[in-house]
């Protein structure tokens, strides 16, 4: 029989234990563990959630990897056409991990109304376009349907709609300049069938999505000519590796660019969240460990006579240290239990009730996103338990210095 566990269990269950001098300090230790696990869970959930949300929004407008012609054009506008007749289109079979590839073309134009105007990029897409991300962004209406060759339906951002006073179902004209300034510009009639809001204002300000045939007509391209290809991957973590593989499996006249390279500053900024999260975890575990060390020392001091009696009866130092470590483990597990209850409650409340809003101009999202995975929650709990117990091994060493004779006389 494990007598250390038996004695620790009896001590924990005794009424004297709960009403002893050390009771307030023990409660503080439990509270420190609970608060620490709550803060760590929120830090990880919001950090990963924010990274994923921002990443998904940028990917929605660009794909994971973009395939274009080699040219000196630094604008968002498609200038030199690419033929759709490529070995890698419509399925990129030569590279594993590619989930989808789509052909698009962009053209800068002016949206004109009777009282106002606004510059925007008309992103032309076809039947192969992946609407997965924009289904989540859609706040009013529906997604465009391009079954008709010259469909006028467009999806416009809430930012542009509010700025120009547009409502769902309204028509407007978009003007596109020609290379020759002496010639009359091109006009495209657009009908708003859907309004989206990604929360990423830098992109919402720029893009509306319509039929690629209009861009082809304005640029005098053939039906099989497009501006660029957008490639989507199954696993974002492999984006650099797959970006190289895609480059190696495309013609030498083509250039490829990953979304992380295209928006380098944004992705470098969201990497900082990892450092912040690690810092918070380290601080919280340190604080919780220090509180548990204090609680353990008080428990040892309170049970000095018991330690002396156990030593006199033949117990070795490690057995007595195990007894107090069992006791401390119970307190840590109790703190983890309440911390998980409170932490998960807050995370699920934020996920479904959106309690804490954020400024989209700063964070690119309207509310704090949360990522909930029982994998990292389990790892966090196990890691906290192990680290706290390791920290308690040092103060438990004081038991070896207690003399049985002096301990029994201790009052």
pLDDT for 73 equals 57
Per the CB < 8 A criterion, the answer to whether 322 and 296 are in contact is: no
**What are the 10-residue block averages of pLDDT along the chain, 411 residues in total?**
69 60 77 90 89 88 90 68 89 90 92 85 92 90 87 92 90 84 81 90 89 91 91 91 92 89 87 85 86 80 74 76 82 91 92 82 79 90 89 78 62 53
pLDDT for 37 equals 92
pLDDT for 196 equals 93
CA distance 13 to 11: 5
Q: How do strand 117-125 and strand 98-112 relate by DSSP bridges?
A: antiparallel
Give the residue from 371, 387, 264, 410 showing the smallest Cα distance to 336.
387
CA distance 175 to 177: 7
Reported pTM: 0.78
Tokens of 236: 């974002």
pLDDT for 406 equals 61
pLDDT for 342 equals 94
How many C-beta atoms lie closer than 10 Å to residue 165's C-beta?
11
pLDDT for 18 equals 57
pLDDT for 346 equals 92
How many C-beta atoms lie closer than 10 Å to residue 98's C-beta?
21
pLDDT for 22 equals 65
Peptide bond into 40 cis (omega under 30): no
Per the CB < 8 A criterion, the answer to whether 180 and 344 are in contact is: no
């Amino acid at each position: 029989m494990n007598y250390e566990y038996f004695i620790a269990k009896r001590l924990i269950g005794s009424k004297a234990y709960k009403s002893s001098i050390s009771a307030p300090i023990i409660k503080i230790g439990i509270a420190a563990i609970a608060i620490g696990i709550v803060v760590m869970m929120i830090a990880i959930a919001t950090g990963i959630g924010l990274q994923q949300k921002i990443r998904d929004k940028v990917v929605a407008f660009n794909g994971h990897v973009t395939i274009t012609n080699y040219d000196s054009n630094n604008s968002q506008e498609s200038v030199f056409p690419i033929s759709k007749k490529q070995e890698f289109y419509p399925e990129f079979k030569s590279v594993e991990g590619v989930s989808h590839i789509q052909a698009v073309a962009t053209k800068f134009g002016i949206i004109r109304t009777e009282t106002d105007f606004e510059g925007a990029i008309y992103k032309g897409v076809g039947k192969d376009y992946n609407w997965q991300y924009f289904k989540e962004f859609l706040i009013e209406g529906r997604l465009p349907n391009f079954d008709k060759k010259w469909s006028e339906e467009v999806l416009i951002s809430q930012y542009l709609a509010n700025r120009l006073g547009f409502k769902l179902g309204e028509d407007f004209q978009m003007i596109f300049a020609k290379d020759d300034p002496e010639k009359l510009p091109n006009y495209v009639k657009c009908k708003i069938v859907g309004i989206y809001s990604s929360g990423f204002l830098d992109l919402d300000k720029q893009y509306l999505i319509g039929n690629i045939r209009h861009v082809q007509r304005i640029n005098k391209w053939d039906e099989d000519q497009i501006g660029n290809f957008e490639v989507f991957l199954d696993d974002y973590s492999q984006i650099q590796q797959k970006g190289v593989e895609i480059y190696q499996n495309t013609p030498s006249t083509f250039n490829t660019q990953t979304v992380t390279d295209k928006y380098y500053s944004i992705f470098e900024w969201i990497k900082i969240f990892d450092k912040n999260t690690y810092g918070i975890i380290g601080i919280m575990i340190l604080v919780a460990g220090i509180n548990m060390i204090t609680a353990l020392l008080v428990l040892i001091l309170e049970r000095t006579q018991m330690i002396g009696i156990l030593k006199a009866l033949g117990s070795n130092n490690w057995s007595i240290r195990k007894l107090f470590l069992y006791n401390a483990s119970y307190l840590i597990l109790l703190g983890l239990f309440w911390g998980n209850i409170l932490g998960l409650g807050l995370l699920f409340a934020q996920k479904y009730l959106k309690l804490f809003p954020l400024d989209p101009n700063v964070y690119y999202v309207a509310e704090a996103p949360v990522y909930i995975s029982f994998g990292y929650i389990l790892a966090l709990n196990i890691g906290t338990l192990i680290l706290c117990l390791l920290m308690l091994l040092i103060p438990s060493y004081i038991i070896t210095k207690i003399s049985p004779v002096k301990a029994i006389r201790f009052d």
